A = this chain, B = another copy of it.
Amino acid sequence: MMFRTAELGQRVPKSEFKQRVPLLRQELLEVQRKVLKLSKFPVIIVIAGVNGAGKGETVNLLNEWMDPRWLVTRAYDKPSDEERERPEFWRFWRDLPPYGRIGLFLSSWYSRPVLDRVHGLIDDVEFNKLLDSIIDFEKALADDGALIIKFWMHLSKKEQKKRFRELEKDELTRWRVKEVDWDNWRLYEKFEEAAERIIMRSSTGVSPWCIVEGSNRNFRSLTVATIIRDEINKHLDKFESATTIGHDISDDDGAEATEASETISHLKSTTVLDVMDMSLSLTKKRYTKDLQACQAKVNLLQRYARKHKISTIILFEGPDASGKGGAIRRLTAALDARQYQVLPIAAPTDEERAHHYLWRFWRHLPRAGKMTIFDRSWYGRVLVERVEHLASEEEWRRAYAEINAFEEMLADSGIVLIKFWIHVTKDEQYKRFKLREETPHKQWKLTDEDWRNREKWDEYVLAVNDIVEHTSTRVAPWNLIAGNDKRHARVKVIKTVCDQMENTLNARVKKWNEDK
C-alpha cells in the first residue's frame, strides 16, 4: 500500500540526467564542505530497501560525486567475533562519523529486524523491541544534533524479477544474483510487510524515511542526491539560525520547505494521481442498476454493524468540485438517518483552535454501531495547512506519524476506517467551476477561494502523493477514486464501503466465534 508511490515508473531521460548532474555534484560538494567546516554535527545516511533496487550503486555513486575523504561508508556482514561478544549496536556506535563528516550506512541496523522477521526467527514482540532500540538509538543521535536521512529503495515484485533476470543475462553481473536472492524474492510479500511496519514505526519526526522508486537509475540517483543536498542545507540553516540573533526560525522553515519541495517535485514528474485511470465511467442505465444494488447492500451491512456494535468512520478528501458531497449523499440515502452523522470540516471553531488539531476529530468519534462521515478530515493538516503554510514544515511532517498513531488507535478499538480521495483532473475541475458560475442555483458553491486553491494545484498533488506514501497503512489504506465521471465515482465509493465493511465484519465475527 505504502509503496504505491514508488511503483509509478518514474524516469529521468539520459539527456536531462546529463544536463543536471554537473550542477548537482557541485552543490553536493558544497554542502559537504559546509558540514565539514562547521563540524558541529554528523550526517548519517541510511540506504536500505529491496535487493536490486540500486542500494550499492547509489552508495558508489555518492562516493564518486562527493569528496570521499570526508565520507565514511559502512556495509555490514555477519557480526565478527569481536562484534558478537558485545551488544548488537556496538558496531554501529563504533562506526559513527564524527561531527563534520558524512556516513553512508548500507542497510545496517535495519538489516537484522527485516531478515529475522521474514524468516520467522523473531515474533512480533521481539520485532517491536528491536524497532524500539532503533528508535532510541536514532533519537539519541538526533538529539545530539545529527542529521539522519533514510532512504528505502523500492522495486515491485515484478520489477525485482526483471532486474535479477537482467543481471543474470550479463556474464559480468551474473555473480550478483545468488540463490538466496531468488529465495527472498519468493518471500517478497513478507519482506514488504516487514518493510511497511519498519517504515511506519521508525519514521519519526527526527528521522523520517524517504521511499525511492529504484527501477530507473537516473531517477533514483538524482532523487537521492537532491534530497541529501536539500536536507543538509535545511539542517545547516537550523544550526545557523540557532546562533544568529533576531532570526525567526519558523518563517524561515516555511521558505526552505517550498524551495526544497519544488526541486524534488520537479523530479517527481509522476504521482499516484497521474497513473489513475480517469476515463472510468458508467452508462446511466448501468449506474441506476448498480447504485440500487450497492445501496441495498450497504444498508444491510450497516444494520448488521449496528447489531454487532461495530462503528464505521468514512472520510472524504479531494479537490474542490470533485463530487465529494454528491457521493456522500448517495451513500447516506441508503442509510437509516438515526445511525449516521455527516461532519463537514471547515475552518476550526474558536474552541477547536484552542486545542491540539486532532482534538476536534476525537470529540466526534461515533458511538458503538454508528457511522460518522467526514467531509474533509484530519488530513487538512497535511493538505491545506501544508500548502497554505498554516502549519510549519516541522508540524506537518510530524503529523504523518501522529495521524498513523491516531488511525491505529481507531482500528485497535474495532472501528472500521475507510478513506477516500475522489479525484478529478484539472480540466474537469475547470469545466465544473465554469458550470457553477453559469448555473444560478450552483453559484453559491463556488468561491474565490476555490479559484485560489486551483492555482496551487501542483502543490496539492504533491501533498496527496506524500499522504499516500506516508499514511496508506495496512489498517487504513487509501482508496483513490476516479471522479471525472460522477456516476462511476458514486457507485465505486459505495461498493468500496461495502467491501471494506464486509471484510472487517466477517473477520470480526469469525474471530468472535473462535474466541467462544
What residues make up the interface of A, taking CB atoms closer than 8 Å to B?
A: 39, 42, 82, 84-90, 93-94, 96, 98-100, 124-125, 128, 133, 136, 140-141, 143-144, 146, 205, 242, 245-246, 249, 309, 311, 351, 354-359, 362-363, 365-369, 395, 398, 402, 405, 409-410, 412-413, 415
CB distance from A487 to the nearest CB of B (A): 36
Contact A87 B405 (CB under 8 A): no
Please, could you name 13 A-B residue pairs with CB atoms under 8 Å apart, sorted by A? Answer: A85-B311, A87-B410, A87-B415, A90-B362, A93-B358, A93-B359, A94-B363, A96-B356, A99-B355, A136-B405, A140-B402, A140-B405, A143-B395
Bound Cα distance A90, B367 (Å): 11
A154 to chain B, nearest CB (A): 26
CB nearest to A83 among chain B residues:
B367
Report B-chain residues with C-beta under 8 Å of the C-beta of A246: 245-246
* Given A245-B245, A405-B136, also A367-B93 (CB < 8 A): no
Chain B residue, CB-CB nearest to A204? B139
Minimum C-beta distance from A252 to chain B (A): 13
> Which of B100, B133, B413 sits near A88, CB closer than 8 Å?
B413
Interface pairs A-B: 7 shortest CB-CB: A85-B368, A98-B354, A87-B413, A93-B362, A245-B246, A144-B356, A99-B354
Bound-state CA distance A415–B84 (Å) is 13
Contact status of A86 and B365, CB under 8 A, knowing A125-B125, A246-B246, A405-B136:
yes
Q: Give min CB distance, A167 to chain B, whole Å.
A: 38
Would you give the shortest CB distance from A308 to chain B, in whole angstroms? 12
Nearest B-chain residue to A144, judged by Cβ: B356
A296 CA to B302 CA in the complex, in Å?
Answer: 76
Q: In the complex, what's the smallest C-beta–C-beta distance from A144 to chain B, in angstroms?
A: 5
Q: Is the CB of A398 within 8 A of B143?
A: yes
Which of A93, A368, A410 counts the most B-chain CB atoms under 10 A from its CB? Answer: A93
Residue of B nearest to A143 (CB): B398
Do A356 and B140 touch across chains, with their CB atoms under 8 A apart? yes
| A85-B367, A87-B410, A136-B405 as given contacts; A100 in contact with B144, CB under 8 Å | no
Q: State A362–B395 Cα separation when bound (angstroms).
A: 34
CA of A141 to CA of B398, assembled, Å: 12
* Nearest CB of chain B from residue A183's CB, rounded to whole Å: 29
Report the minimum CB–CB distance from A171 to chain B (whole Å).
Answer: 44
Q: What residue of chain B has the Cβ atom nearest to residue A311's Cβ?
A: B85
CB neighbours of A358 from chain B (8 A): 93, 140
Taking a contact as CB atoms under 8 Å apart, the answer to whether B355 and A98 are in contact is yes
15 other contacts beyond A85-B311, A86-B368, with CB at 8 A cut-off? A39-B354, A42-B355, A85-B367, A86-B366, A87-B365, A87-B415, A89-B362, A90-B362, A93-B359, A99-B354, A125-B125, A143-B398, A144-B356, A146-B356, A242-B249
Cα-based distance from A136 to B96 in the complex (angstroms):
28
Evaluate contact between A367 and B311: CB separation under 8 angstroms.
Answer: no
A365 to nearest B CB, angstroms?
A: 5
Residues of chain B with a CB closer than 8 A to A125's CB: 124-125
A395 nearest CB neighbor, chain B only: B143
Contacts of A311 in B (CB 8 A): 85-86
Q: Tell me the smallest distance from the CB of A348 to a CB of chain B, in Å.
A: 12
Residues of B within 8 A of A409 (CB): 87-89, 133
Most central of A42, A89, A140 by chain B CB within 10 Å: A140
Task: Assess the A365–B412 pair: CB atoms within 8 A.
Answer: no
Which single member of B90, B99, B410 contacts A365 (CB below 8 Å)? B90
